[in-house]
Amino acid sequence: MSQEYRYILRIMGTDVPGTLKTSYALAQIKGVSASLSNAVLKKAGVNPDLRAGFLTESDIAKMEDIIREPAKYNLPFWLFNRRKDSESGKDSHLLSADLALKTKTDIDQAKEIRSWRGYRHTYSLKVRGQRTKTTGRAGKALGVKKKTMQQKPGAPSS
């Protein structure tokens, strides 16, 4: 290959190391899973075993377009991260800041309507049915702590 190697690429507003294989490099973007990344590479006609540093600008542009509008390229709806949106009712795919904002909005809405999920989020408890008797105790009192014996000044030590 006569293509110049780049150590860091900018794909969808994310810095991606050029040393990674293209399938793993695309998965570095927030909102792109490993399975979506493989589907995008297949649609774009890019070798998934190629190192990302060897990608051309045209390859990157084609992959970005597919990631932005996966429905336009007939990718399966089950690869999208926003299926049957509660507001629009459509399948869509969100990336980076949009994904984080929409997730936060969904959690706030669940808290506002006081659903069970919202209640669990409000009190910082496990939301998805995990056990809580022994796990998820970080940041809380753990068991019983003994008070340290403090001696008064001038008291005889035993």
pLDDT at res. 36 = 92
Strand pairing class (14-17; 8-11): antiparallel
* Token digits of residue 109: 């809405």
Residues 26, 32: contact at Cβ < 8 Å? yes
Sequential DSSP letters for 36-59: HHHHHHHHHT--TTSBGGG--HHH
CATH topology for 8-79?
A: Helicase, Ruva Protein; domain 3 (1.10.8)
Give tens-digit pLDDT for 37-89. 999 999 999 999 999 999 999 999 999 999 998 889 999 889 888 888 878 88
Q: Is the pLDDT of residue 2 over 60?
A: no
Give tens-digit pLDDT for 116-148. 999 999 988 888 888 888 887 776 665 666 666
